[in-house]
Amino acid sequence: MIQIQHLTKRYDGKPVVDDVSLTVERGQIAALVGTSGSGKTTLLRMINRLVMPTSGHVLIDGQDTGGIAPHLLRRRIGYAIQGHGLFPHRTVGQNIATVPRLLRWPADEIRARVDELLTLFQLDPDAFRDRMPHELSGGQQQRIGVARALAAKPDVLLMDEPFGALDPVIRAKAQADLRQIQRQLGTTLVLVTHDMTEAILLGDQIAVMDQGRLLQYAPPAEILRAPATPFVEALIGPDMRPFHLLSLTPAFRIATEGHATGTPIPRDATLRDALAECLWSGRDALPVEGGGVVTLTALRERAAP
């Protein structure tokens, strides 16, 4: 659990992060969203004290991080950034082993951990362990960056625009994989993004920031249904609201008894996928794999606040 209490950062008297308080529950994903200059990255970097707060506290599992030497604190917190920041002169295996080596794990444990992580990220350990970062594709580099952040089994993982440099197809896959791995490991994750779609897709809670202030901190559905300020509304984009809302629920949740023809949609396809399929195939109802149907009427109900 991460508790941020009245956290403020000023540069030359100007507040960049202004009295922000929020709590991320254990095992949850909090997405920090905002335009550039909103202070979201500074807020993230104060959690692992890459930026020293001017005032306020960050507590991790109840312990004030201000009392820990910054480099020791950071070894307990995973950190992954846009453009991955891999060490170009170290192999993939050495990159992943960075923090375990700093923590002086035994060599065989480090080796086992590297292989475990490569497998977790669907990369064959024997093929990738000894490659250099520049020999990998962008998507592979990004996965190694996250694997490196997770190497020492941190309870908390911080990510700054981790998918920013990826093309849309690879990004969607990376986001899905991250969600799955985060659930599997139970890691508490704080993620900075400027992309509301990504925040809605990944966040259990979304924190919207503007000019250093926290405008709203709430689950995605609430942000969409009841944006706290016009700025939050603009960031969502009024034209996207119904679709964002639909994308939060899997199809099987609203499946009802009934009959429909045509190709069924997967159980965990989102309602947004279902709407698209209805419009595209000209159907009023779709069968869901494993039984039940989703009707256009039900979708319409779900697409409004």
Residues that bind other proteins (CB under 8 A): 48, 50, 71-77, 79-89, 98-99, 102, 132-134, 136, 141, 145, 148-149, 158
Smaller CB separation from other proteins, 66 or 266? 66
For the bound state, the minimum distance from the C-beta of residue 93 to other proteins, rounded and expressed in Å, comes to: 14
Smaller CB separation from other proteins, 110 or 218? 110
For the bound state, the minimum distance from the C-beta of residue 244 to other proteins, rounded and expressed in Å, comes to: 30
Which one-letter amino acid corresponds to residue 189? Answer: L
Give the relative orientation of helices 107-120 and 138-150 as an angle to the nearest 10 degrees.
130
171 close to 163: Cβ distance less than 8 angstroms: yes
Smaller CB separation from other proteins, 84 or 113? 84
For the bound state, the minimum distance from the C-beta of residue 85 to other proteins, rounded and expressed in Å, comes to: 3
For residues 40 and 217, what is the distance between their CA atoms, to the nearest angstrom? Answer: 13
Smaller CB separation from other proteins, 149 or 251? 149
The beta-strand segments (E) located in the chain are 2-11, 14-24, 29-33, 55-60, 63-64, 77-81, 156-160, 188-193, 205-210, 213-218, 285-287, 293-295
For the bound state, the minimum distance from the C-beta of residue 288 to other proteins, rounded and expressed in Å, comes to: 43
Smaller CB separation from other proteins, 132 or 248? 132
Smaller CB separation from other proteins, 70 or 291? 70
Mark out the alpha helices in 48-186 (DSSP H runs).
70-76, 92-96, 98-102, 107-120, 125-128, 138-150, 168-185
Question: Which CA distances in Å does 75 have to 45, 100, 206, 257?
Answer: 14, 9, 26, 52
For the bound state, the minimum distance from the C-beta of residue 51 to other proteins, rounded and expressed in Å, comes to: 11
* Tokens matching residue 254: 């609203």
For the bound state, the minimum distance from the C-beta of residue 238 to other proteins, rounded and expressed in Å, comes to: 35
Rg over CA atoms, the chain = 21
Smaller CB separation from other proteins, 40 or 84? 84
What's the N-to-C CA distance of the chain in angstroms? Answer: 30
Question: Angle at CA 184, nearest 5°, toward 183 and 189?
Answer: 45
Q: Which residue has the tokens 């925040």?
A: 199
3-state secondary structure of 137: coil
Smaller CB separation from other proteins, 30 or 144? 144
For the bound state, the minimum distance from the C-beta of residue 103 to other proteins, rounded and expressed in Å, comes to: 9
For residues 224 and 217, what is the distance between their CA atoms, to the nearest angstrom? Answer: 12
For the bound state, the minimum distance from the C-beta of residue 141 to other proteins, rounded and expressed in Å, comes to: 6
